[in-house]
Structure 1
Amino acid sequence: MLVELGRYDRNLANIIVGRLASDGIEAHAFDGGSSIADGSWLLIPVRVMIDEDDLDCARQIIDPA
């Protein structure tokens, strides 16, 4: 089952998806195209979704502190 890792601005969400992919964790950016027609797409956070089993590992990768 997919779970939300976090909500980020559009660019950061895509960077996180790529970073996780480089470590073998499949991730997806949801809502990236929302409301693009009315010009508010920069204001809508993008959800990064991953498999529930990868959640702890993904959190360690994006915030190792």
Structure 2
Amino acid sequence: MSLVELSRHMHAVEAEIIRGRLEAAGVGTVCFDSGVNIVEGAGLALPARVMVLAEDVAEAKAILAEDVSL
């Protein structure tokens, strides 16, 4: 079981919203670097990353494709 990067975000809040959406749909998700990313402008150097298990990537992308607001 390995984690893969699903997406990167300049703002940690965006990554956390996506994590919440995927968790609500039953897809285990972790945000990397969201705590470091809270400083204004830090997203350029160290974006917040949404990580999922490799076997969940297709399902996660399908869930997010349904949410056109994301």
TM-score (norm 2): 0.76
Q: 5+ unaligned residues in a row in structure 1: which ranges?
A: none
CA RMSD of aligned residues (A): 2.2
Q: Look up the SS of the partner of 1:48 in the other structure.
A: strand
Runs of 4 or more consecutive aligned structure 1 residues displaced over 2 Å after TM superposition:
33-36, 38-44
State how many pairs are aligned: 64
State the TM-score, normalized to the length of structure 1. 0.81
Aligned runs of 1:1-65 on 2, under 5 Å?
1-8=2-9, 9-34=11-36, 40-43=41-44, 44-64=46-66
Unaligned runs of 5+ in 2: none
